A and B are shown apart, each in its own frame.
Chain A
Amino acid sequence: MEKTTERFTIAHGSGGELTNQLLESETFEILQNEYLQKKHDGAVFELSGKLAFTTDSYVVSPLFFPGGNIGDLAVNGTVNDLAMCGARAKYLSLSFILEEGFSIDEFHTILLSIRKAADKADVLIVTGDTKVVERGKGDKIFINTSGIGQVHPNANIDAANIEIGDKILISGPVASHGMAIMSVREGLEFESQIRSDTASVQEQVMTLLDEFGQDIHFLRDPTRGGVATVLNEIARQMHLGISVDERKIPVREQVRSACEMLGIDPLYVANEGTFLVWVKAEASEMALEKLQAVLPTGQQAAVIGSVVAEHPGQVIIRTEIGGRRVVAMPSGEQLPRIC
Chain B
Amino acid sequence: MNMKYISEYRNAGVVKKLLAEIEATVTRAWMLMEVCGGQTHSLVKNGILNMLPDKITMVHGPGCPVCVTPKSMIDQAVALALRQDVIMCSFGDMVRVPGSSKSLMQARSEGGNLRVVYSPLDAIKIARENPDKEVIFFAVGFETTAPANALAVLQAAKLNLNNFSVLVSHVLVPPAMEAILSDEFNTINGFLGAGHVCSVMGLHEYYPLAEKYKIPIVVTGFEPVDLLEGILMAVRQLEAGIATVENQYARVVRNTGNLQAQAVIQEVFKVADREWRGIGVIPQSGYKVREKYQLFDAEHKFSETKNIKVQELDAGCIAGEILRGIKKPVQCPHFGKGCTPLNPLGAPMVSSEGACAAYFHFSQAYETTS
B128 at the interface (CB under 8 A from A): no
- A326 in the interface, Cβ–Cβ < 8 Å? yes
Kindly state the separation between the CA atoms of A337 and B37 in the bound complex, as whole angstroms: 11
A331 at the interface (CB under 8 A from B): yes
B330 at the A interface (CB under 8 A) = no
CA distance A332 to B370 in the complex (A): 28
Give the interface size class of chain B.
35 or more
Cα distance A187–B115 in the bound complex, in angstroms: 13
Interface size class of A (residues with CB under 8 A): 20 to 34
Nearest first, the 4 A-B pairs at minimum CB distance are A323-B47, A335-B92, A331-B341, A336-B92
Is the pair B95, A325 in contact by a Cβ cutoff of 8 Å? no
Is A263 among interface residues, defined by CB-CB distance under 8 A?
yes
Find chain A residues with CB under 8 A from B66 CB.
338
Chain B, Cβ-Cβ closest to A335: B92
By CB atoms of chain B within 10 A, which of A263, A326, A338 has the most?
A338
Stretch at the interface among A96-104, A112-120, A253-261: A253-261
A64 to B175, CA, bound (A): 49
Query: Which residue numbers of B lie inside 8 Å of A, CB to CB?
Result: 1, 3, 6, 10-12, 15-16, 38, 44-48, 50-51, 65-66, 91-96, 116, 118, 122, 140-142, 144-145, 196, 224, 340-342, 351-353, 360-366, 369-370
**Nearest opposing residue in chain B for A260, CB measure:** B1
Given A324-B47, A337-B351, A311 and B116 contact (CB-CB distance below 8 Å): no
A328 surroundings in chain B (CB, below 8 A) = 360-362, 365
Chain A residues within 8 Å of B65, by CB: 338-339
Write the nearest CB–CB distance from A330 to chain B, whole angstroms.
Answer: 8
Q: B46 touching A321 by the CB < 8 A rule?
A: yes
Closest to B15 in A: A321
On whether the beta carbons of A337 and B3 are closer than 8 Å, the reply is no
- Chain A residues contacting B46 (CB-CB under 8 Å) are 319-321, 323, 325
A322 touches B15 (CB 8 A): yes
**Bound form: Cα–Cα A311–B368 in Å:** 10
For residue B292, give the distance in angstroms from its CB to the closest CB of chain A. 26
Closest chain-B Cβ to A140's Cβ sits at a distance in Å of 19
Q: Does residue A127 face the partner (Cβ distance < 8 Å to B)?
A: no
Query: Would you call A188 an interface residue if the criterion is a C-beta within 8 Å of the partner chain's C-beta atoms?
Result: yes
Q: Nearest CB to that of B340 among chain A residues?
A: A331
Q: What are 10 A-B contacts defined by CB distance under 8 Å?
A: A186-B118, A187-B122, A257-B1, A336-B91, A336-B116, A337-B353, A338-B65, A338-B351, A339-B145, A339-B196
Residues A335 and B47 in contact in the complex (CB < 8 Å), given A311-B370, A322-B16, A328-B360: no
A232–B72 Cα distance when bound, in Å, is 37
How long is the Cα–Cα vector from A320 to B303 in the complex, in angstroms?
A: 50
B90 to chain A, nearest CB (A): 9
* A322/B12 in contact, CB under 8 A: yes
Looking at the assembled complex, report how far the CB atom of A250 sits from the nearest CB atom of chain B, in whole angstroms. Answer: 14
